[in-house]
A and B are shown apart, each in its own frame.
Chain A
Amino acid sequence: MIYFDNSATTKPFPEALKSFQQVSERYYANPSSIHSFGSETEKLLLQSKKQAAQLLNVNQEEIIFTSGGTEGNNLAIKGIALQHQNRGKHIITTTIEHPSVLEACRSLESLGFEVTYLPVDEEGRLRVEEVKNAIRNDTILLSVMHVNNELGTVQPIEEIGRIASHYPKMFFHVDHVQGLGKLPLDFHSSHIDLCTMSSHKIHGLKGAGMLFVKRNTSLFPLLHGGSQEASYRAGTENLAGIVAMVKALRMILDKQQSQYRHLENLNKQLRDCLKDLPQVMINSPEDSAPHILNFSVPGYKPEVVIHALGEKGIYISTKSACSSKNADESAVLSACGHQFKRSSSALRVSLSYDSTKEEAKTFCEAFKDVMNQLSEVMG
């Protein structure tokens, strides 16, 4: 089997899985219980937070554990909007955000907020000027993703943050779900106030995530109840999931240091092979994140390609898994200004540090076969 759908989710690291199991078996007490067993698990929770904070170079109290990327994005966006609506009701985001950002923004529109969706260029990149021009006196939130989940396009977060820093009334949120463990992001020098991260995209398990919330930033909680996570996120902590996430975080950051070049090489290998095929148009820009390669096969139905590859045990995806079941067209590619033929025939290969050269080679050959086979009917 060749699993090239790592932007949808990743295979848990065996070490993370082991931690998950050990914590579930040994440290199942509720960290809020006052007996010493609870005290032990609370200590583990605090230690996890401390380690996550150290790895991300932030303060411990700036981390809120969540259930994942969707919750993190919702908590950041709705939490800021509801808490600070007396300052203004204007939000800025982009047209190529993940649905958990876009839909959260749309839900706020129905509550009387106004949202500006900034356009992107053909490569999916936001122009810094556009951000500047969109900021108004009543803008309270700017939300921009770091790495786009379909294209891999990297936004100039540091530059955007520098602009955002001139507007103290406006909070700056970054969806870092696809970037974490792949590309460095300094929260401080980028003037980020909130940053969403997810566990299962970095070889942790589903059901855990983190939201960085800069000191002195207040949020309206989505979940009310107990006083867990400084009351920003009530509910008994998913300790096993959290510990596994922090373990995975440590490991993926190591790999980012030592194996980034490997990802770049794989990306290049795939690009070189696809470039030679007349039916293929590559959508990911040259300088995109190395783990994502998006391309279109105009005239071919992407589902058919996926299924044909699936028969050979190769798993890739059409657009992002979260929106794959909607219409055929990729909203991201269409926002980049591509014609329907191109934006409705996109395929995404997404790699992990464990992907190999041989796998990439096998994929290429299989893909060529599939194209030949299908061209008799569709080409």
Chain B
Amino acid sequence: MNYDHILIRYGEMSLKGKNLKHFVARLYENVKMKLANFSNIQIKRNRSRMYILLNGEDPEPIMEQLKDVFGIQSFSLAIKSESEEEQIKEAVMFALTEPEDVKTFKVSVRRVDKDFPIGSQDMNRVLGGHLLSNTEGYSVDVHNPDIELQVEIRKDGTYITSKKIPGAGGLPVGTSGKSLLLLSGGIDSPVAGFLSMKRGVEMEAIHFHSPPYTSERSKQKVMDLAKQLTRFGHKLRVHVVPFTKLQQTIYREIPEGYGMTVMRRLMMKISERVAEKEGILSFTTGESLGQVASQTMESMNTINEVTNYPIIRPLVSMDKLEIIDISKRIDTYDISIRPYEDCCTVFVPSQPKTRPTREKINELEAKVDFSEELEETLESIEVIEFTEEAEQEDEFSDLL
């Protein structure tokens, strides 16, 4: 006997009514894509659970992958047995005695299939009694057991699990529409992207690149971040916007101090045009209130004037340290701290206005005609698509 299944429990999507089917179907697709490399497994689903039949595959690497799939509340290794008393007893015995260092246990039966002749409470006692009288050295502890043996009795069989591994939570990516992530090379924006994806958002990204003021490496850094985010959403397209000309114009025409605000507004305008074209309905940014000059309430108000698209700001109330914690957890931190200039740092005046007003900025912008350069910029956007499995860097493969 051995653990031959992984049982997946749904997150809050299980509260959905008629739409549940749609959520489950999406999660199924996402799990399937995530586990595409494990050729022997089979995945089954119903309204409340998903099951992975291992068919001999090593469960460890599979469970490692599942931790990155949004929509999963928790998962467990499971033994499947017939819904028949003796077989369940045998499986429970295995689950109890297999691990080392277990002294106390608890049995929790859930009888989903009401045709099964023994009720949940009675079955608890039956199984507990069976374990106690056929083993030595174990005792029951209902409050702090070393191991909790969960038994789900269903029509198609009974699943016995012992250890719950927390999943990523959230909603399956692809169930909440698309958003355009303003991706810089910093710590915040990838975390914002991650958190939006957690709520089921399918992400595209836009990056503003200003060669030669920013280097090829800073672009590479953004590409590496994008690639990293595919862990959670399988696919990410990055719209790389050549921003040098517009930045130079701003630098020349707009008084120092206001340049940053105007630049942000232009970024928003470009983003909106990209979103329109791609059928994207919102933006996601890494803004955190008060963190830097462009993220004061006044700046947000002034910058936001140019678009009426919703802007998702998952980090708006987070402290820098909380953001850093998440970035380390999702392995974007080490990429983000690579020390290259990004598009925002080169042109930023030493003392940007922290309290711009809409009136002042509109007045300054009215004196400059950005439209031609804006259209030109939109024409030359480069789109790069990343998928989780594709390996971008095979140029060195002969050396390594």
Residues of A near any B CB (own CB < 8 A): 19, 22-23, 34, 36, 39, 42-44, 47-48, 51, 59-61, 243, 246-247, 250
Contact = CB atoms under 8 A, between A and B. Distances in A.
Given A39-B217, A43-B396, A60-B334, 9 more contacts: A34-B340, A36-B215, A36-B216, A39-B215, A47-B393, A48-B400, A51-B400, A61-B334, A247-B399
B29 to A, nearest CB: 27
B216 A23 contact: no
A247 B215 contact: no
Interface of B: 215-217, 220, 331, 334, 340, 393, 396, 399-400
5 contacts: A34-B217, A43-B396, A47-B396, A60-B334, A247-B400
B399 A44 contact: yes
Q: Which 3 A-B pairs have the closest CB atoms?
A: A39-B217, A19-B399, A47-B396
Nearest to A36: B216
Dominant SS at the B interface?
Answer: loop
B393 A243 contact: no
B220 A19 contact: no
A47 B215 CA distance: 19
A263 to B, nearest CB: 25
Contacts of B220: 39, 43
A243 B399 CA distance: 7
Contacts of A22: 399
Nearest to B334: A61
A23 B395 CA distance: 13
A15 B334 CA distance: 32
Nearest to B224: A46
Residue from B216, B217, B340 whose CB has the most chain A CB atoms within 10 Å: B217
B396 A44 contact: yes
Nearest to B219: A39
A254 to B, nearest CB: 13
Contacts of B396: 43-44, 47-48, 243
A51 B400 CA distance: 8
B217 A243 contact: no
Nearest to A227: B339
A243 B400 CA distance: 6
A364 B74 CA distance: 61
A43 B393 contact: yes
Nearest to A52: B400
A273 to B, nearest CB: 40
B400 A246 contact: yes
B397 to A, nearest CB: 9
B30 to A, nearest CB: 24
Contacts of B340: 34
Contacts of A59: 331
B399 A39 contact: no
Contacts of B331: 59
Most buried by A among B217, B334, B396: B396
B398 to A, nearest CB: 8
A61 B333 CA distance: 11
A189 to B, nearest CB: 10
Contacts of B393: 43, 47
A202 to B, nearest CB: 15
Nearest to A240: B399
Contacts of A36: 215-217
A43 B400 CA distance: 13
Contacts of A47: 393, 396, 400
A31 B194 CA distance: 30
A42 B217 contact: yes
B56 to A, nearest CB: 19
B102 to A, nearest CB: 15
Contacts of B216: 36, 39
A43 B217 CA distance: 9
A300 to B, nearest CB: 46
B400 A250 contact: yes
A68 B359 CA distance: 64
